[in-house]
Structure 1
Amino acid sequence: MTQGVTHSTTQGAPEARSEAPEPKQGAAVGVPVDEPAGPDRIRRPVDAIRFLASVAGLAAILLLVSIAKGTTTGLQSDIVGGTTQAPRFLLTMATLVSSFGVLAVPVAFAIERLFHKDGVRVAIALLAAVIAFVLTIVLDDWVVPAAPGGVLDSLIWGGTDTAPVHTDITPVIAFVTAVGMAGRTRWQAATWAMIGLAALTGLTALYASVAALAATYFLGRAIGHGTLYAVGTPNPRPPGTAVMAALTRLGFTPLRARRVPAPADEPRAYDVAVEQTAGRQLPQGEWQLRVTVLDRDQQTAGLFYRVWRLVRLRAATPRRALRSLRRSLEQESLMAYAVHAANARTPRLLGTSEVGTEAALLAYEHVSGRTLNTLADDEITDELLADIWRQFQRLQAGRLAHRRLEAESIQITDGRAHLVHLRVGEIAAGDLALRLDLAQLLTTLALRVGPERAVATASPILGDSTLAGVVPMLQRVALTRATRAALRHDKDLLTRIREQILRLKPESEAPPIRLERFRPRTIVSIVALTFAAYIIVPQLSSVDLGNLLSSATWWWAAAGLAAAAATYVAAAWMLIGFVPEPLPLWRTVLVQLAASFVKLVAPAAVAGVALNTRYLQRSGVRPGPAVASVGASQLMGMATHILLLILFGFITGSTTNATKDLAPSRTIVIVLLALAIIAGIALTIPKVRRFVTARLKNMFSGVVPRLVDVLQSPKKMFTGMGGIILLSAAFVACLDSSIRAFGGELPLTTVIVVFLTANAVGSAAPTPGGLGAVEGALTLALTLAGLTAETATSAVLLYRLLTLWFPVLPGWAAFAYLQRKEAI
């Protein structure tokens, strides 16, 4: 939606409403409004949110009664003991009143709604009540006999005559929820008073418990809101004629109006022609006003995305994900006044008004124009770009953050830029919000005219120092959703913007600022850890850890620790062998140890590549050769790993007596075929194929020339390949020692295949250090190889303790030391 904008010559604050002329009686009656017919019913996001909240509440009740039975039982006893002290007459009257009123009050409200021609909502509420009634009968008749002594037994509490949910209350709660009593306080008070009395009589008569009543409440609310969202609620949005009637209260006399086309998630907008009055200075033309309408039901649109952004991203100032209609109206009004006061071109807000109880309007001056995304390339001149930057500079000077500087938020009229879409703006913004605005506008303009022109036109106005300060903020996560989607077609645009800024101020290079509280892969890691726990914990439950630890051979564990330590020397030799430039062995070993700390926050393969590349650059190797050297070592390591897996896979299937047939074992064939099928299916998906191609291209570009350089030095080649072989041998020795420490024993070739398979799974898993994937693969493989579940689980835990968890603390110390020495 594009708002109208004011001419730059317009000065002064909007006129006070008290000075506006009195509207003519019936001025809005018969005003023609050109707009499409609205839907009879709409699905409100708030109903889905409330449905999920009710389901969460029901789950919380079930969890509470399962872990705090004593507390719920004690609460029940206290309530029953308290009610027995009440006079019997009052309890009898309460029972009679609630028995009659719990049904009579909702029926009376339904009749009242029918007289007001609101039969559709009553019909939806009746549907919700029927669903609740049927569901409670099913639960009472089917669940109760099937769950003695369990969670539902705690809900039942009190004897065999009770029920986990109550047929007499649940339908009423569902009906009340779906029929909608918002704004009708007397009806609400009467209805919930009857429901409360019915609950109280259930407690005193011992056919209800506190937990059961709470579960009944949440179940009824969930059914009511779920029915509303599934069927749709009657459209509460006021039509255009009601908007025009509200506009007359601001002192305008509308003559005609038309609805402006806009996306479904944007507020409604109308172009309105009004009578010119001597008391107001309005633009000339066909339309004088652009009226934006905020509908109450749209205030929760996009709530989950806003909550996700608030939780995920750091912010200098707290913001609310859920805004009321009143707060949204006040926020946009305040931002419009502030931007106008900062002398930035923006629509002049002339007034605001409620439109009934379900909407509010904001009346702006109307100025025709086109948004930046609709202009042809030759229409976007350097003068226009400079004007956009001047308007932006005025926002920055006034400490105003727009927060949505997309192409649709920049309107061009007569070659001049105007800033619109101020709904999510922020006054008294902090430095972080202002720099994020600059990063967003730079990206928006670079998408249209390229990073060279975007930076070149901004530099004279904002200054090179200001532009340099935004370099760490040029991250995809800092941009709007639409901008991130546009960047998928130009993935290196942010890099090119940084390069253009660094050409102006080379000394401004700085690492990106961490804007995220956590990354999506953190959630993946948690899920993987949960999965690993699901696999390992049941096995541990059958293990006598005390007996197992006392019977463990700890000198084998010490041998495993020595083998784990040897892996860091091997990894250092592996890297040194593929770098023609000389590298100190001791410092390179420290880098590999530091990688053991870094891989706790990144997948293992990614962490090692990134840290080693950074180390080579700090050691004087140019960025291109540094990436190629690490890629060469990774490529040779991967090739060697695959060859070893195939070789020992065949060896494990060979027989040692009469035959020399080297046919692989059936398990190895099944595993390899399964992996091949999964990989083949995955590569048929275009996104997966592009990801794999880009990953391999980035990792191994320039590798061949680097390998040619290494091949010219036999010493380097021997060092690199020796490091690769020693690395695998050390890990195998650590795993074999872990198995032997708990009394297990497997052929060495089997241990090698188990390690190579699990290591491949861990490298491919998108979790830090292969968490979850490695544990599950190792435990399953060792069990299939012939170890008992207890021995396999214990060996895997010891192996991961030696190779993943023990090195974390020295790895952190190495990481800190290398950072102080500026080696990484």
Structure 2
Amino acid sequence: MSGGGGETAHPPVTRVRRPNDLVQLLTTAAGLGVIVLLTLQTPDAVATLDRTVPTVVRDPLRALFSLASVVSSLATLAVLLTVAVDAARHRRAALAQALVAGVLGLGLGAVAERIGDAAGGVVADVLTGPRTDAALVPVVATIAFLVGADLQRRRRWRQPSRWAVLAGLACGVALGNLTLQGTVAAVLLGGVAGLAVRLVAGVSSARPSDDVIRTELARAGVVVDALEVAEQHAGLVRLTGADATGPVCITVVDPDGRGLPLVRRAGRMLRFRAAVVGRPSLSQRGDLEREASSAALAAAAGVPVPAVMALLAVGPALVLVERPLTGTPLTEAGERAADALAAAFAALRRLHAVGLAHGALTPDCVLLEPDGTVGFRDLRAAQPAAGELQRELDTVALLVAGAAVVGSDAAVAALRAGGADPVPPRVPALLQPVALPSSVRRAVRGTGLLGELRRALTGPDGTVAAAPRLERFSPRVILTVAASTVAAFLLASQLSQVSIVDELRRADPLWLLVALGGSALTYVGAALALIPFVPVALSLGRTTLVQLSTAWLTLVTPPTVGHVGLNIRYLQRAGLTVGAAAASVAVSQVATVAATVLLLLVVGWASGVSTARLSLVPSGDVLLVLLGAVAVVGLLVAIAPVRRLLISRLEPLVRQSLPQLLAAATEPRRLATALGGILLQNAGYVLALAASLRAFDASLALPTVIGVYLVSSAVGSVAPTPGGLGAVEAALLGGLTATGVPVAAALAAVLAFRVVTFWLPAPVGWLAFVHLQRRHAI
């Protein structure tokens, strides 16, 4: 260990396990499994495909292919011998590895042939090939040997081996010694054997030694002393050293880590929109090249960043040499932190002016140099030719990171002092956790910092620009889709004998009209539930049209999101500020939830339907369920992290809604109107569900229908899909069948209920939406 405090760099590890080998092994095994599964599940189709592949049966063409087969076999043997000799001379461990892989391939091929003989039928005829003159075992052994020999860096022999093996396989298929499916299966089986050995034993590292690195650096004019490891993981190592001028940072990227950035960035590109991630590099080598070009752009903008001294190719590795930036991090700047943050915003504006986004701004990344200038520690996540949204996300990240050090008011003042006056209109809306680097997001989690910054940035009227959509799919949506897929498979297995068409044909149209009428009542009830909590006078007709307009928005947004957003916009147009409008909608939502929960408990007590179990049980059991629910809630509240999360989520809502709730409670007329609206809204939905059941000759006791609807509504309200799509249907169907409704009638009733309450109101809601827009009501 040197005095620098880091780990002394030693010659690189001689054997490494490449992540890309694991990915290839899993992919190859999955492909082999698919072929075997298709052969077992669809033998007729596989046999038909095998018959469509022509074989050569007549001379002189067959004689020509036989000669080509002999030549390709000799070429394959020559390639195998050459690879073995080359490995023995230069890579003895690779030779042992290849021999082990070849032996394993022989064993797997022999076992596969025996399994094919035992299975018989299409498995023996297609996968393992004819028993006379079969070539399965040698093919598997050859592929396993070549894959185990690891020819990635032996390009001299890689291409000849591929062509020789490909020619031999083509001749085997043409002569009928191998089937097409059997050939693919043999190649995959050999690949599995070779990759498994490579993964277990490891492969020779492509990373150059320290002596080689120092020699190449000396040729480039950078003479460094002993190197120390600062950071190391698959395919990348960061070394530190010093030359005559000062410290030097050296980043070495080799092919051993190939595949890791692709997996990470592919996941990020799938989750976030292209405007957020830009065009990220999918390899570590590309990252290093982009970091070097970003440093050049930053230097052109006059922003201090680590200076690039050299970018060298050392064998298969790429080496980036930088002069690190020295200075005091923002977190240690003390009284100078506010001025340093303002200078950082000015520097960031210069980066953005040349089209460069930093991409990972944290407090430790901002450095105050001895001469008073401010720069950035590294540009590993920098994005040249960045779009407007990426630049705004940079501003948000630096604002939040700075606020964590100097406070929200000082951070906003620094933002404006740094040249962002006026503040970009979308910055307040982008103050959300998903827009922040992971370290900053963890630092502000559980605090009210984002809310403080948002309030400090909004104008006098509290207006905030609409937030651009950042994510394609949130983890919540992915989990919901996965759960819905599982539920769909389970449901399909139960409905395989049900004729839905026959059920729909015998529907009673009069009851369907009643269901439609119940759906219409829900919008009047929603309007009545909102009006009493608004401090200005609202028209019942226009407010009802606004609620009807939300039916259109639920096609493209989760059920609560579109409803709340449109109501806030409506109240703003009616003369309320954003804060007052949000508070009015929040208190309406709180009252609705409270009344609905109370109604569910009353119905559960009366009918035996509880939120935990949709079945008729004695009232004593309901009491036990309620007591159990109270106990679970009490245990959750007793857990400190859960308690803090609940307080952070509920406290702002209670603070906003409590004054108006108390005001409504002191005015019986307003309170009665609100409760009447909530009951009317729920009654409309219950009427629609009961009428839908009656339309298909099914019925339940009224308390049971109410309980089933309320539980399904609760499920739909937390589902992230538009209008609770999928979640509501599954909850309704499960509740109805659990309470005794036949599956066919329950499915038809659920479809009818969702048509009259979700699908049919949507086009009418669009007309109402357009009408209200023309009248400037929303």
TM-score exceeds 0.5: yes
Select the residue among 285, 307, 311 that pairs with 1:348: 307
Structure 1 partner of 2:408? 451
Q: How does 1:239-638 map to 2 (within 5 A)?
A: 239-252=209-222, 254=223, 256-262=225-231, 264=233, 267-274=236-243, 283=245, 287=246, 289-298=248-257, 300-316=259-275, 320-324=279-283, 327-357=286-316, 359-365=317-323, 369-370=326-327, 372=329, 375-378=331-334, 380-414=336-370, 415-465=372-422, 467-468=424-425, 470-490=427-447, 492-502=448-458, 509-623=464-578, 626-638=581-593
Task: Measure how far apart 1:362 and its partner are.
Answer: 2.4
Structure 2 partner of 1:10? none
Q: Are 2:512 and 2:695, in contact at CA under 8 Å, matched by a contact in 1? A: yes
Task: Measure how far apart 1:106 and its partner are.
Answer: 4.0
Task: Measure how far apart 1:144 and its partner are.
Answer: 8.3
- Report SS of the residue matched to 2:434: helix
Query: Could you list the per-position Cα deviations for residues 69-124 of structure 1 after superposition, in whole angstroms to 9, with x for gaps in the alignment?
Result: 999767644542467676333433454456676577446524532332441x4555
Q: Any stretches of 5+ residues in structure 2 without a counterpart?
A: 1-6, 610-615
- Report SS of the residue matched to 1:541: coil
Query: Could you list the per-position Cα deviations for residues 147-206 of structure 1 after superposition, in whole angstroms to 9, with x for gaps in the alignment?
Result: 978xx799649789999x944434543443343212323422333234324433442454
TM-score of the pair, normalised by structure 2: 0.85
TM-score of the pair, normalised by structure 1: 0.80
- Report SS of the residue matched to 1:361: strand
Query: Could you list the per-position Cα deviations for residues 345-399 of structure 1 after superposition, in whole angstroms to 9, with x for gaps in the alignment?
Result: 2333332211121x122233456x24626x5241644443344334333323323
Alpha-carbon distance in 2 for matches of 1:118, 1:321? 39
Task: Measure how far apart 1:794 and its partner are.
Answer: 1.3
Query: Could you list the per-position Cα deviations for residues 406-457 of structure 1 after superposition, in whole angstroms to 9, with x for gaps in the alignment?
Result: 3444344314333342344333444333333323322332232223233323
Q: Are 2:235 and 2:256, in contact at CA under 8 Å, matched by a contact in 1? A: no
Alpha-carbon distance in 1 for matches of 2:125, 2:755? 41
Task: Measure how far apart 1:693 and its partner are.
Answer: 4.5
Greater RCO (CA < 8 Å, at least 6 residues apart):
1
Task: Measure how far apart 1:467 and its partner are.
Answer: 4.6
Structure 2 partner of 1:782? 736
Task: Measure how far apart 1:816 and its partner are.
Answer: 4.5
Q: Any stretches of 5+ residues in structure 1 without a counterpart?
A: 1-32, 276-282, 655-661
Alpha-carbon distance in 2 for matches of 1:251, 1:539? 75
> Per the alignment, do residues 251 and 702 of structure 1 end up closer, same or farther by CA in structure 2, a change over 3 Å counting?
closer
- Report SS of the residue matched to 2:227: strand
Whichever residue aligns with residue 321 of structure 2, its letter is A
Structure 2 partner of 1:659? none
> Is 2:567 the partner of 1:645?
no
> Per the alignment, do residues 51 and 321 of structure 1 end up closer, same or farther by CA in structure 2, a change over 3 Å counting?
farther
Task: Measure how far apart 1:464 and its partner are.
Answer: 0.3
Task: Measure how far apart 1:771 and its partner are.
Answer: 2.9
Q: How does 1:646-661 map to 2 (within 5 A)?
A: 646-652=601-607
Alpha-carbon distance in 2 for matches of 1:810, 1:154? 62
Task: Measure how far apart 1:818 and its partner are.
Answer: 4.1
Alpha-carbon distance in 1 for matches of 2:702, 2:641? 40
> Per the alignment, do residues 194 and 717 of structure 1 end up closer, same or farther by CA in structure 2, a change over 3 Å counting?
same
Task: Measure how far apart 1:663 and its partner are.
Answer: 7.0
Moved more, 682-691 or 807-816: 682-691
> Per the alignment, do residues 726 and 215 of structure 1 end up closer, same or farther by CA in structure 2, a change over 3 Å counting?
farther
Q: Are 1:532 and 1:772, in contact at CA under 8 Å, matched by a contact in 2? A: no
Structure 1 partner of 2:87? 113
> Per the alignment, do residues 222 and 456 of structure 1 end up closer, same or farther by CA in structure 2, a change over 3 Å counting?
farther
Q: Are 1:468 and 1:508, in contact at CA under 8 Å, matched by a contact in 2? A: no
Structure 2 partner of 1:183? 153
> Is 2:766 the partner of 1:791?
no
> Per the alignment, do residues 138 and 69 of structure 1 end up closer, same or farther by CA in structure 2, a change over 3 Å counting?
closer
Query: Could you list the per-position Cα deviations for residues 740-766 of structure 1 after superposition, in whole angstroms to 9, with x for gaps in the alignment?
Result: 212223333332332233233333444
> Per the alignment, do residues 458 and 52 of structure 1 end up closer, same or farther by CA in structure 2, a change over 3 Å counting?
same
Alpha-carbon distance in 2 for matches of 1:105, 1:667? 77
Moved more, 332-341 or 494-503: 494-503
Whichever residue aligns with residue 355 of structure 1, its letter is V
Structure 2 partner of 1:9? none
Moved more, 673-682 or 42-51: 673-682
> Per the alignment, do residues 313 and 806 of structure 1 end up closer, same or farther by CA in structure 2, a change over 3 Å counting?
same
Structure 1 partner of 2:20? 46
Alpha-carbon distance in 1 for matches of 2:230, 2:518? 69
Structure 2 partner of 1:737? 691
Whichever residue aligns with residue 248 of structure 1, its letter is A
- Matched positions, count: 765
Task: Measure how far apart 1:245 and its partner are.
Answer: 1.4
Moved more, 212-221 or 99-108: 99-108
Alpha-carbon distance in 2 for matches of 1:467, 1:269? 37
> Per the alignment, do residues 299 and 765 of structure 1 end up closer, same or farther by CA in structure 2, a change over 3 Å counting?
same
Q: Are 2:360 and 2:381, in contact at CA under 8 Å, matched by a contact in 1? A: yes
Moved more, 311-320 or 45-54: 311-320
Alpha-carbon distance in 2 for matches of 1:694, 1:460? 32
Task: Measure how far apart 1:62 and its partner are.
Answer: 7.1
Alpha-carbon distance in 2 for matches of 1:821, 1:53? 58
Task: Measure how far apart 1:649 and its partner are.
Answer: 3.4
Alpha-carbon distance in 1 for matches of 2:473, 2:36? 30
Moved more, 65-74 or 645-654: 65-74
Q: Are 1:177 and 1:221, in contact at CA under 8 Å, matched by a contact in 2? A: yes
> Per the alignment, do residues 379 and 352 of structure 1 end up closer, same or farther by CA in structure 2, a change over 3 Å counting?
farther
Alpha-carbon distance in 2 for matches of 1:59, 1:565? 54
Structure 2 partner of 1:195? 165
Select the residue among 640, 664, 671 that pairs with 1:710: 664
Task: Measure how far apart 1:789 and its partner are.
Answer: 1.6
Alpha-carbon distance in 2 for matches of 1:380, 1:591? 52
- Report SS of the residue matched to 1:418: strand
- Report SS of the residue matched to 2:322: strand
Q: How does 1:19-58 map to 2 (within 5 A)?
A: 34-36=8-10, 38-54=12-28, 57-58=31-32
Whichever residue aligns with residue 364 of structure 1, its letter is E
Whichever residue aligns with residue 392 of structure 2, its letter is R
Task: Measure how far apart 1:552 and its partner are.
Answer: 1.9
Moved more, 588-597 or 67-76: 67-76
Q: Are 1:580 and 1:709, in contact at CA under 8 Å, matched by a contact in 2? A: no
- Report SS of the residue matched to 1:745: coil
Moved more, 472-481 or 545-554: 472-481
